[in-house]
Amino acid sequence: MPQKTIQGSEKLGKQIRSRRVELGLTIEEAASRAGVGTKTWCRYESGASIRQDKYRGICRTLNWHSFPDQGEENDPLFSVAECRTHEAWSEFLENRFGPAAALSFAAGSDILYDHIAEEMEALSSMPAGTHIGQLGFSWLKDILPEQFLPYYDYEFLYRMKCALCRLTACAKNHLPMTAHSVLEELLIFFCSEEASALIEISGGISGIEDKDGEAYTDWVFDLFGDEDILTFLYSDIYLSSDHSYHFSHWDEQNFFMDETLCP
């Protein structure tokens, strides 16, 4: 899926630089917090265009709600017709939950894959056993369940990447997108959440009516048949090692085993 961009300008570049200096951040610190490279941040300050999946990271880094003078009426819309060509477009999701579900998985999988790849690269230069909580900045630390933070090392991120690739292969090959493990549930949930934020920034999806963003998120729990990942992983409940949602069981094929497995 072509990455949508926000048009850069000399004015916006100066505003980004001025705000960074005002907050007392070096270029390296700002880039790390935004989840981009130092050279990329320098290009932003020079007025280069900005990929929309990086928008939230930049705003968070600079404590902005949105870019200065950015008018919502000028924001580009996602197009269903455009996104149907994406390799992770799922006809299964489209037919069962509507085009907004298929689009949100396709767009979200791109964003999530980038996050995983960037943090794998950061961990690859650090001692074995280093986890994402020890990085200068980590997107994944903000979204993964807090209880198991020390386990999120390079090997785990590699497993995440492989599982995400399996799910995108299911979408590409028109197979059911049923989650068979906790890790797959989490990945689908993350794709939906990341895409929902990006779609909101972009002004919605062309041709789809939506009430309060429901079309982009509710399908996930309809697909799972429950909200157990929220109940057990995001509700400050301590999980013992024998609990099915404990980290040690995330890769186990536990759910919906009566349906066709993804390859």
Q: Which range, of 49-58, 71-80, 153-162, 192-201, averages the lowest pLDDT?
A: 71-80
Do 42 and 3 contact (CB within 8 A), yes or no? Answer: no
How far is residue 173's CA from residue 35's CA, in Å, rounded to a whole number? Answer: 31
pLDDT (mean) for 107-126:
89
How far is residue 115's CA from residue 109's CA, in Å, rounded to a whole number? Answer: 10
Q: What angle do CA 104, 108, 109 make, to 5 degrees?
A: 120
What is the token pair recorded at 110?
A: 């791109």
How far is residue 53's CA from residue 113's CA, in Å, rounded to a whole number? Answer: 12
Q: What is the pTM of this model?
A: 0.74
Bridge partners (DSSP) of residue 206 are: 79
Cα 151–chain centre separation:
20
160 CB burial (10 A radius; 0-12, 13-18, 19+): buried
Give all domains of the chain, ordered by start, each with its CATH number. Answer: 5-74 (1.10.260.40), 78-249 (no CATH)
How far is residue 86's CA from residue 171's CA, in Å, rounded to a whole number? Answer: 10
Do 105 and 215 contact (CB within 8 A), yes or no? Answer: no
Do 145 and 233 contact (CB within 8 A), yes or no? Answer: yes
pLDDT tens, 15-63? 999 999 999 999 999 988 887 888 889 989 998 888 777 887 888 789 8
How far is residue 87's CA from residue 169's CA, in Å, rounded to a whole number? Answer: 8
How far is residue 163's CA from residue 175's CA, in Å, rounded to a whole number? Answer: 15
- Rounded to whole angstroms, what are the CA distances from 85 to 51, 74, 95, 101, 187? 19, 25, 16, 15, 21
pLDDT tens, 85-116? 888 999 999 999 988 889 889 988 988 898 89
